[in-house]
Amino acid sequence: MKALTLFMGCLVPNRYPGIELATKLCLAKLDIDFNELAGASCCPAPGVFRSFDRTSWLTVASRNIVLAEQMERDILTICNGCFSTLADANRIIKEENGTKEDINEHLRKIGKEINGNIDVRHIIEFLYEEYGPEKIRSYVERQLKIRVAVHYGCHLIKPTKDRGLGNFERPRFFDELVNALGATSVEYPDKMACCGAGGGVRSAMKDKSLKMTEAKLARIKEMEIDCIVNSCPFCHMQLDAGQAEIKEKMEIEYDIPVLHYTQLLGLALGFPPEMLGIDTSLKKNRELMEQLDLQE
């Protein structure tokens, strides 16, 4: 297993530092050799930058990859969008004739050059491939007897031809990692639907974005779920903060706890919720922690 450098992206350190800490605590507990990717910039976001200027998107992404190459470490992402950009850019540099040379013309202006000799991993894909559910289960100190709605998100599994983890119409790898913690991943209608935020929809068409989110939350609520678990801070924001926006705009209340997988994993590994950025002052989170016998 190659050493890793952790790419935090923009949203986690700026809005969800609890996910950042949860991730670092879990990686350390699992004895994974990692450090943080110093000097990293925005990935940049795949749904916007790539659409307008592919060369600039590739150049900025390649600069981030070069930082990891210089440390001889693979990149580990905790965001579906960051994974999409960095993994796709890395693949294009390695496989597309002439592109590496073109991008290096830009990178040499800042004294850098990309070689294409590392890999980009997503934490869900990495844990499933390198550890697997059984090994993860061996680290569990606290069985999480809850019903979970897993949200894969779009960029983790699409486009299918560029991802490598089985059946992407009915994937199971994320569910298996949740079940390894003692929880039960519950199937629900429209499970593979977008959260409503991606591709600039949240920014450009907020009302339509929230309608998509509300439709998904309604399906989840029907299944009497205890919490939603995701693998992407942008999906996390849409499914979590989006509930407050839906309550204000549509007068529909859900109050469903939303956790990043590293937060759920951290609970199973024995860390207290306050160390994982789980705000127990919120009614929905407090009730979930009480159910897990983790109330303060």
What are the pLDDT digits (tens) for 145-159? 999 999 999 889 877
Q: Torsion over CA of 157, 195, 122 and 48, rounded to 10 degrees?
A: 90
Q: In 103-170, where do the E strands start and end?
A: 120-122, 147-150
Give the 3-state secondary structure of residue 153.
Answer: coil
Q: What's the burial of 133, exposed, middle or buried (CB within 10 Å: 0-12/13-18/19+)? A: middle
State the CB neighbour count (10 A cutoff) for residue 144. Answer: 23
Q: Is the peptide bond before 44 cis (omega within 30 degrees of 0)?
A: yes
* CATH number for the domain whose boundaries are 133-291: 3.40.50.11810
How does residue 164 score in pLDDT terms, banded at 50, 70 and 90? low
**Tokens found for residue 152:** 């894969």
pLDDT confidence of residue 248: 94
pTM value is 0.95
Architecture of domain 4-122: Up-down Bundle (1.20)
Q: State pLDDT tens for residues 101-122.
A: 999 999 999 999 999 999 999 9
At which residue do the structure tokens 């779920």 appear? 225
Q: State pLDDT tens for residues 204-215.
A: 677 888 999 999
**In percent, how much of the chain has pLDDT > 70?**
97
Q: Hey, where are the domains in the chain? A: 4-122, 133-291
pLDDT confidence of residue 294: 86
How does residue 18 score in pLDDT terms, banded at 50, 70 and 90? very high
Rounded CA separation 109/218 (Å): 51
How does residue 75 score in pLDDT terms, banded at 50, 70 and 90? very high
